[in-house]
A and B are shown apart, each in its own frame.
Chain A
Amino acid sequence: MKAIVLYLHVHQPYRIKPYTIFDTASDHDYFTAEYNDRTSNEKILHKVAAKSYIPTNQRLLKLLKDHPEFKVSLSITGTVIEQLERWSPEALQSFKDICATGQVEIVAETYHHSLAFFYSRAEFEMQVDMHRRKVQEIFGQTPQVFRNTELSYNNDLAYWADKAGYKGILTEGWDKVLDWRSPNYVYRPQYTNQIRLLMKNYKLSDDIAFRFGNQAWSEWPLTATKYTHWLNAEPNATNFNLFMDYETFGEHQWDESGIFNFLEHLPAEWLKTEGNTFMTVSEVIDAVDPVGMVDVPQTITWADTERDLSAWLGNPMQNEAIEALYALQDRIIATGDYALIEDWRRLQTSDHFYYMCTKWFSDGDIHAYFSPYETPYEAYINFMNAYRDLEYRLIQKGVTV
């Protein structure tokens, strides 16, 4: 038996609008830009819903109905669920519809897509809890498998997830960790008892997520037949972990690239061969025994050629910004002011730090594509001015800063 484990990550941050020092202490809304501004969350959500969420879910729903074997795992952040509720109930309904088939599993993560695990365990656990409750409310499921923001992962995280009762955890199948081993199996994290580890097959995933529309790629154009052939050619795999951003479909790879066509044909092509199937992340963990232990003392992620946190925490601006933010934690939480706490949490979303990344040369194209700011410096200035406004709001409440 061989299973494709298709896992899609749905996320939109609350981008900070153009926010200068003159806005600090006078305008406490950091996230509502003019509709036509590049940082307008509403406009971006409308665009992504129209280009990606709605047309992709339409196709997924048909595939799920046509092929009972077809399964999908989704992680969907609290920040994007909120935005869908507010600006595209239609897209949110389409997510509910695919979940209602019973063939879609929701994966646990932090509500705010944050890096809180690395800065504050209490805050991290709070956000995971918030996310679980939101998923229960919207989709009626309780997540069993955990993924941390950007698939960031280390032994500590696995230990935490094991203790927290998750049956599985996801990360990158990075060569430096796996060495001679293949990501196409189920593993166990070092120092844990029960939990299982699923590692992304980044070559096969990136063929779809990054290379699909690239006409300079030697394998272009990629068809479902060709792709299935590659998978079938792997002799000993049990599970192909295809992990990618949901927005691959229609947003990162546009409709014109043929990505939807590829998606529509993949299940039928794959299921043609006896023994081929699809599984959700929980299903593969239940069905397949682990083949070995994986030891990850240092943090890995699914991003950039370094596969570490350097896209978020790799330069002094990023470190200054995130450390300043977490240093406010106790004072912010102590206020009990829900709006203030929520703004502080929205600023924790990892995207803010990603926009400040200056690694332009090796991964610049990807970063530039995802940033609504002209420069990483602009992103930093906006962020710090918003941070200063949080300080100001604390002062207004009589808190010393």
Chain B
Amino acid sequence: MKILMLGWELPPHNSGGLGVACLQLCKSLAKQNVDIEFILPYKADHDHDFMTVTAAHPQGVVEIQKAGGAYDSFKYVYSDGQEEWLDVYSQQQVYEQSIGRVVTNKTYDVIHAHDWLTFRAAMRAKELLNLPVVLHVHSVESDRAGGNHGNPLVREIEATAFSLADTIIAVSELTKQTIMRDYHVPANRIQVVHNSIEPDTFGELEPDNTYAYLMAMKAQGYKVVCNIGRFTIQKNLPNLLYAAREVVAREPKTLFMLVGGGEQYYQLLTLAASLGIGKNVIFTGFQRGKRWRDAFRIADLFVMPSVSEPFGLTPLEAIGYGTPALISKQSGVAEIIDNCLKVDFWDVEAMADQICNAVRSESLLAELHTNALKEFKRLTWDTSSQKLLHIYRRQTVAA
């Protein structure tokens, strides 16, 4: 089985969970003897022995990153020394135009494309190769726009691609419902394949932690509530801050740490100050590596309050690093983990109550984590890749 896999990013050049999910999924598919050629919009050194990574065209990763992450619907940027401005929309057009050259004289069985940036390329490849197309939906435009309509150009691509696709894969039931609601796609054309995580990749916890200040404050009886993610409307961080005000009023020894960056950065800083909790809210900026892992570990509770989270990898990572999670019910991950605190994203009161309950009770935190960890350890990408393999087979038989 040979798959033409169209993606926008892979670690370490990922802007979020999309790249991680693609990588893990391919790794697991490779174990089932699937031969993958992964097409990226940029050239970078990837040391993956389980698949071939090909650049659609010879630009560096910087140009793509300047164009905005895969999550940005629209952003003007300077591209490559020439007097030209390329936004992420034009980038996906270039990617589409390059795909013909990439697939010339090659044979595949199925085309598998991840999110709207690669959908036009997928349609072009389908036309050229006369092969079935599987569209994998990690998020749709209304998710990224925090429940709003979003960018009409992006919606047009999504609508067209969904109607032409042979099969659509959603990363959660929630996403399946969203696709049906936004694009009127019949339920039987959408299969749910949950994202997952590889528990073995979470090694032994390091003994030291880079957040010396938080360590000291915890020794004083403070509790740390953490969010890691992009500061964007989808993530609903203003509501977390409104809840934080309630929590700090009731439990003054609670610190909130927001790890990340994004267009809401200044808004969130000002909001925390105007809510009178500037001392209790710590902004670390965007982090990778040990500081990123340590943020999960130092927290007593991880909170993902997203308005709409098709899947939502970070709570699983938190659990893997030893921290229980509070997540919004509007998230795909809520479908696969039971042992989490769950609230509606709009319910600030409930969010505050849940956080208070958690920081007041060591035993609740411990119990939540112990049970969540059991669920976590059962997770594997292999379940997902087996489902996918089944979908591929059905497509090739149909073709």
Contacts and interface: CB of A to CB of B under 8 A. Distances in A.
Given A317-B278, A320-B276, A320-B278, A22 B220 contact: no
A388 B215 CA distance: 13
A320 B282 CA distance: 13
A377 B211 contact: no
Listed residue (B213, B215, B284) with the most chain A CB atoms within 10 angstroms of its CB: B213
B273 A380 contact: yes
A375 B212 contact: no
Listed residue (A20, A24, A400) with the most chain B CB atoms within 10 angstroms of its CB: A24
A164 interface: no
Nearest to B275: A316
Given A25-B212, A392-B216, A401-B220, A324 B269 contact: no
B220 A400 contact: yes
Interface in B194-217: 210-213, 215-217
B266 A377 contact: yes
A392 B283 contact: no
B273 A317 contact: yes
A250 B175 CA distance: 63
Interface string B270-296: 100110101100111100000100000
A320 B279 contact: yes
B265 interface: yes
Contacts of A358: 270
Given A316-B270, A317-B270, A21 B278 contact: no
B279 A387 contact: yes
A389 interface: yes
Given A384-B278, A384-B279, A387-B279, A24 B212 contact: yes
Interface of B is mostly: helix
A381 B283 contact: yes
B245 to A, nearest CB: 12
B284 A320 contact: no
A177 interface: no
Contacts of A391: 217
B347 to A, nearest CB: 25
Contacts of A366: none
Contacts of A298: none
Interface of A is mostly: helix
Contacts of A380: 269, 273, 278
Contacts of B211: 21-22
Interface residues of A, number: 28
A18 to B, nearest CB: 11
A25 B216 contact: yes
Listed residue (B215, B266, B291) with the most chain A CB atoms within 10 angstroms of its CB: B266
Contacts of B279: 320, 324, 384, 387-388
A316 B245 CA distance: 14
B278 A324 contact: yes
Contact of B213 (A24, A316, A319, A321): A24
Nearest to B222: A401
Nearest to A389: B213
Interface in A274-317: 315-317
B273 A21 contact: no
Contacts of A395: 216-217, 219-220
A20 B285 contact: yes
A392 B219 CA distance: 11
Nearest to A400: B220
B114 to A, nearest CB: 34
Nearest to B279: A324
Interface in A367-401: 375, 377, 380-381, 384, 387-389, 391-392, 395-396, 400-401
Contacts of A321: 273, 278
Interface in B252-272: 257, 265-266, 269-270
Contacts of A24: 212-213
A377 B265 contact: yes
A36 interface: no
B224 to A, nearest CB: 12
Nearest to A375: B266
A315 B270 contact: yes
Contact of B269 (A381, A387, A392): A381
A106 B229 CA distance: 54
A218 interface: no
A21 B266 contact: no
Nearest to A381: B283
A26 interface: yes
Contacts of B215: 25
A319 B291 contact: no
A392 to B, nearest CB: 5
A384 B219 CA distance: 20
Nearest to B220: A395
11 contacts: A24-B213, A25-B212, A315-B270, A320-B273, A324-B279, A377-B265, A381-B269, A388-B213, A392-B217, A395-B217, A401-B220
Given A25-B215, A380-B278, A392-B216, 6 more contacts: A22-B291, A315-B270, A319-B273, A381-B269, A384-B278, A392-B212
The 5 closest A-B pairs by CB, nearest first: A320-B278, A316-B274, A316-B273, A25-B213, A25-B212
